[in-house]
Amino acid sequence: MPEPTKSTISVTAQDPKKKKPEEKPEEAVKDGASKKKDEEKEGEELSEEDLQLKTELEMLIERLRVCCFAQPALETLRTLIRTSTSSMTSVPKPLKFLHPHYPGLQELYETWPVSDNKSLFADILSVLAMTYSDTQPRGTLRYRLLSAALSPSKQLSKPGSWGHEYVRHLAAELGEEYNSREFDEEGEEKTSEENRVPGTVDDLRTLAIECATFLLQHNAEPDAVDLLEELEIVDRIVDIVDENTYERVCQYMIRCVNLLPPPDDISFLRTAHRIYAKHNKFPQALSLSIRLGDSELIRKDFNAPANPSMKKQLAFILARAQVPKEWLDPEDGMDDGESELPEDFLECLSNARLSAQFKEFGKELSVLEPKSLEDVYKSHLENTRSTAAANVDSAKANLAGTFVNAFVNAGFGNDKLMAKAEEGNSWVYKNKDHGMLSAAASLGLSLLWDTDDGLSQVDKYTYSSEEYIKAGALLATGILNCGIRTEADAAIALLSEHVENKSVPLKTSAIMGLGLAYAGAQREDVMALLLPFVADDGVSMEIASLASLALGFIFVGSGNGDVASTILQTLMERDDKQLDEKWARFMVLGLALLYLGLQDGSDATIATLRAIEHQISQTAVVLVDMCSFAGTGNVLKVQELLHYCDEHIDKTPKEKKDEDEKKNDKDATPEEPPKDDTFQAFAVIGIALVAMGEEIGSEMSLRQFNHLMHYGEPTIRKVVPLALGLVSASNPQLPIMDTLSKYSHDNDLQVALNAIFAMGLLGAGTNNARLAQMLRQLAGYYYKEPDCLFMVRIAQGLVHMGKGTITINPFFSDRTIMSRTAVAGLLATLTAFTDAKAFILDKYHWMLYFLVPAMYPRFLMTLDEELNNIAVTVRVGQAVDVVGQAGKPRTISGFQTHSTPVRLGTTERAELATEEYIPFAHVLEGFVILQKNPGWEKEDKMDI
């Protein structure tokens, strides 16, 4: 089959233009064409074969003018065009020789009566029109549709029979025609008589389906998807893909999602989901349902497979995404649902095995031994002066030690300072007042996910007479239950009684403990406990805001109407003075988290927020808007957020007016003007939040942050490092590392402080040697600045988090699914850092534990169908994007072969090294169940 690939050449482009005004006869057209050929150095001499072909074609054209010879002449013309062969760079000979006759043939066509012959003639003209595409746009499509209209009785030849280039040409013209009609509303009225393309939009779509079918059969899946997307019928691709093409089509569609505007992105995901569901690819379908956040689809996908091992694998995927267990219950009632799900499914769904498996993983990697603070600091390598120790605030150093110890030994439950401390020698007592709260809570982090052993260890601190220690124990209870669902439901049982406590530390710890323990669980009973605190005007702003944040954690991305309306009501009813407080930002964040990833779902709330007269409404609008589009890579949203950042010109006069009033007040947050520009700080974080879901977008955002750092107001500058940390959490890229290193020496201590913390976020759980070295240098540089030194220690703890086995990157499953609970945790932590002096460096350092929902082991554990660990050889390398590439290219590069369990970096991917086992999951990450390949052993014996 000839496949001409280049049909428009310079000859065709200029001939008609020259000849049109003079309206010369056909012979003159031929002369013009031949002159042009001379210029092209093609010469007049044609080979004998070409001359013969040319003469034959001219004779056929003459015959078309005689009625009785018309049909055989058309048949012969069709055969000649279809069977012509040509090189990839030149136009097929028949098209070349017929090109000068095209205007004459058009005139002849108009004189023919309606018949099957005229339909065939139109079909041939449609092919010839390719050579006139620049002077007579959409001629190919026009004649194709005329041909179809003239021959309703007889089956028209498929577009593919004219070759690949013809189909591509037709596809391009279909898109143009469809867009012009859409543009003109009723396109036919506006186009001129001769150029009018016949047929309705339905005719265009029917033809598009034919072209797409051909393209799919010839390995041009992206072209087929693009064509159907242009004609807005991408959902119909489900019926034309087969088992050979669906995988490539879905991969391409999923990669397109980040580049499409809403609602096209959602329709692409739904279409890809339907294709996967149709071809029984359950894990792929489920991961798309999770991205869509559609409980109905998730329930269907989970119940679709009959194989129990596949169901367990799906349960692991749901547990990783923190999908509420209630979503899987049948609609008729909860009780039946619980009895239906067997024990082992529930165990997978509730993440109950996570702690034991994580410790097993640590044992395999030989990192089970607890690390001391000195192992992390390596202070003998710091180039500090000997007198430095005298200037260090000892309480502050101990407090930093609390966090470092907790983060580094997180999940292993065997650290020397807290979990395995000797009786009466616990690190708690080396801290003062509010430091004790964080120290007691650090036990929860050390025993992370270990609900059995953990609760008994924390329990002894709940009886302490010291109020702060007791409060810390409540927070620890919440932390260690984070992401784990147990039947005992210990967190609510232990914390609910303290929610009503009169003591503020106990009350706030119990509220936040519930928020962390049930993050993403969407539990109505916890809502009933916490909602009254948001609504009650009598309680302080601190308690109302933290209750609001806890509800944001629990109902993250659910768009829950009750919680949203209560928070909105509170924002409207509270006094201006209360809304001026530093806590208001957490109340607004609680509201924003409800709409995480819901895109247009937050429109009504944003409209309501705009009606609030207080300045907090501006911050609220920015937060809700950016959370709605988190991880979508939506370019328009990024532009909108950038616009908020350039409003600094108006702020200066206000600030100058109020400067005198502010001189005595160190904490500027409650004053009006700074509140006024808080929204800018969140807009900067918002840019990172929206862009981080897509590689190109996140790279482009780095340049914007650079500009903001150069030209932004202090409010904006201090938040830029945090945005850099968010865009690349647990993924230490060199350019970002160097940028943050530069910012960490900034004259503005706020900027330096946030840059140091962002370095911790950037390398969280990676053990990155370069970052560790940078932080050691900073420890020497800031040895006289207790606040900065405290932050350097925290960052060191984060870099060595879980001894290099834990990640805080919110994306999983090959970086396609965004964990909403992880984003909620990161955002809450960054919100505390928008005013570090008022929160983290004051007595609210326990807010660093907001990172807990984002913490998850970065491992690949392979299990057999009985869920026992098995060692399998796997290749681990840098993930390579192979979407749309021909053949079956390698999906990883620079790989190393390991035996499972293995540790996976943020941008790494794993694949099985042999075919001995077949994985149930489509992405080798987290827990993967393997099935023995029945054909493997036979091959093995043959080799022997």
Q: Please name every residue paired with 908 in a beta bridge, in sequence order, or none if there are none.
A: 878
Nearest residue to 637 (alpha-carbon basis) of 579, 681, 697, 595? 697
Place of tokens 């013309």: 77
Q: What's the confidence (pLDDT) of residue 388?
A: 46
Instruction: Look at 390 and 823; give whichever has higher pLDDT.
Output: 823
Sheet containing 892-899: give its strands across. 892-899, 873-879, 908-912
| Distance of alpha carbon 72 from alpha carbon 79, whole angstroms | 11
pLDDT cut 70: percent of the chain above it:
86
What are the tokens at 609?
A: 């927020």
Q: Which residue has the higher pLDDT, 467 or 387?
A: 467
Better-predicted residue by pLDDT, 829 or 21: 829
Q: Report whether pLDDT(66) > 70.
A: yes
Q: Is 329 helix (H, G, I), strand (E, B) or coil?
A: coil
Facing residues of 861 across strands? 927
Query: What are the residues facing 860 on neighbouring strands?
Result: 902, 926
Residue 828's pLDDT is 96
Query: Among residues 725, 853, 748, 731, which one has the least CA distance to residue 794?
Result: 725
Residues 6+ apart with CB under 8 A from 348: 312, 315, 316, 319, 867, 927
Q: What's the fold here for domain 630-649+675-857?
A: Leucine-rich Repeat Variant (1.25.10)
Q: What is the pLDDT of residue 317?
A: 94
Of residues 291 and 336, more confidence is placed in: 291
Helices (H), 712-834: 714-727, 734-743, 749-762, 769-781, 786-799, 820-833
**Residue the block writes with tokens 């007269």:** 613
Q: Tens digits of per-residue pLDDT, 838-881?
A: 999 888 999 999 999 999 999 999 999 999 999 999 999 999 98
Examine the pLDDT at 9 and tell me if it is beyond 50: no
Query: Which amino acid, residue 63?
Result: R
- Report whether the peptide linkage leading into residue 137 is cis, meaning its omega lies within 30 degrees of zero: no
One-letter amino acid of 416: K
Cα–Cα distance, 747 to 762 (Å, whole number): 22
Q: Which amino acid is at 665?
A: D
Torsion of CA 790, 791, 793, 794, to 10 degrees: 120
Are 891 and 880 a contacting pair, CB within 8 Å? yes
Q: Compute the distance between CA of residue 37 and CA of residue 45 in angstroms, rounded to an integer.
A: 11
Q: How far is CA 943 from CA 538, 933, 935, 936, 940, in A?
A: 79, 16, 13, 11, 5
- Which range (381-385, 794-798, 867-871) has the least confidence? 381-385
Report the range of poorest mean pLDDT among 390-394, 503-507, 764-768.
390-394
Side-chain half-sphere exposure of 743, counting CA atoms within 13 A:
30
Residue 179: other Cβ atoms inside 10 A: 13
Listed in sequence order, the residues at least 6 apart from 254 whose beta carbon sits closer than 8 Å to its beta carbon are 268, 269, 272, 288, 816
CB 783 within 8 A of CB 795: no
Q: What is the mean pLDDT of residues 337-359?
A: 82
Which pairs count as long-range contacts for 395-400, CB under 8 Å and 24+ apart, including other chains?
395/431, 395/432, 395/435, 396/786, 396/789, 396/790, 397/789, 397/790, 397/793, 398/427, 398/430, 398/431, 398/435, 399/431, 399/435, 399/438, 399/439, 399/790, 399/845, 400/789, 400/790, 400/793, 400/794, 400/797
Q: Is 259 left (phi over 0), alpha (psi -120 to 50) or beta?
A: alpha
Instruction: Write the DSSP symbol of residue 739.
Output: H
Q: What is the pLDDT of residue 42?
A: 45
What 3-state DSSP class applies to 25?
coil
Average pLDDT of span 241-257: 92
State the chain's maximal CA–CA distance in angstroms: 112
What is the per-residue DSSP string for 510-546? Answer: HHHHHHHHTTTT--HHHHHHHHHHHH-TTS-HHHHHH
Domain ranges of the chain: 280-329, 351-371+394-518, 630-649+675-857, 859-932
Mean of per-residue pLDDT scores for the chain: 84
Distances (CA, A) of 848 to 103, 125, 791, 827, 828: 76, 72, 11, 11, 9
Range 211-238 average pLDDT: 92
Burial of 611 (0-12, 13-18, 19+ CB in 10 A): exposed
pLDDT of res. 340: 65
Tell me what pLDDT residue 653 has.
43
For residue 687, give Cα distances in angstroms to 621, 643, 860: 14, 11, 32
The residue ranking higher by pLDDT, 187 or 513, is 513
Residue 585 has what pLDDT?
A: 93
Neighbours of 769 (CB within 10 A): 10
Q: Fill in the DSSP letter of residue 152.
A: S
Secondary structure E strands in 259-407: none
Rounded CA-CA distance 710/727 in Å is 19
- Reference 160, options 248, 220, 87, 94; nearest CA is 220
Q: What is the rounded CA–CA span in Å between residue 167 and residue 898?
A: 47
pLDDT > 90: what percent of the chain?
Answer: 49
Per-residue pLDDT tens for 104-154?
Answer: 888 888 888 888 888 888 888 888 888 887 778 888 888 888 888 887 656
What is the model's pLDDT at position 177? 87
Confidence of residue 393 (pLDDT cuts 50, 70, 90): low
Report, in angstroms and rounded to the nearest whole number, the Rg of the chain calculated over CA atoms: 34
What does the angle CA 934 – CA 940 – CA 942 come to, to the nearest 5 degrees? Answer: 115
- Predicted pLDDT at 614: 87
Beta strands 856-857; 806-807: pairing state: antiparallel
Cα–Cα distance, 688 to 730 (Å, whole number)? 14
What is the structure's pLDDT at 648? 56
Say how far apart CA 230 and CA 207 lie, in whole Å. Answer: 13
Please check whether residue 634 is in contact with residue 626, taking contact to mean a CB–CB distance below 8 angstroms: no
Cis peptide before 653 (omega within 30 of 0): no
pLDDT confidence of residue 188: 45
DSSP 398-439: HHHHHHHHHHHTTTT---TTTTTPPTT--GGGGS-HHHHHHH
**Contact by Cβ (8 Å): 300, 331:** no
